[in-house]
Amino acid sequence: MAAVSLSVSTVKPLGDRVFVKVSASEEKTAGGLYLPDTAKEKPQVGEVVALGPGRRNDDGSRQELEIKVGDKVLYSKYAGTDIKLGTEEYVLLSEKDILAVVA
């Protein structure tokens, strides 16, 4: 999956898409060993920054999304499109790729 680099100030998702700010990956293991960049796994947790208006139903109405801006979510490992805005990393996902809301 290729990362997209953008130089814009706002991103407005369409349909049932969700724009998520990726949480920082772990720098060291539970045992205290520091991980090099090549050994770090892609994080699967992030904070919802923006939501699309929802998916259209057969009758033309919109189905509201189950999550809201500010929720911390767990998403599928290889889901979405990686986007870089400045130094921050984001991922644009479909709502179906979100597995859970975490506390």
Instruction: Identify the weakest region by mean pLDDT among 14-18, 20-24, 44-48, 70-74.
Output: 20-24
Q: By three-state DSSP, how is residue 19 classified?
A: strand
Domain 13-26+34-101, CATH class in plain words? mainly beta
User: How would you class 92 by CB atoms within 10 Å of its CB: exposed for 0-12, middle for 13-18, buried for 19 or more?
Assistant: buried
The confidence score (pLDDT) of residue 16 equals 92
Instruction: Give the residue-averaged pLDDT of 67-78.
Output: 92
Q: Which residue has the tokens 């898409």?
A: 17
Give the tens place of pLDDT for each residue, 11-34: 889 999 999 999 876 666 667 777
- Under the banding of pLDDT at 50, 70 and 90, the label for residue 38 is low
The confidence score (pLDDT) of residue 32 equals 74
32: which 2 tokens? 């205290």
Mean pLDDT over the full length of the chain: 84
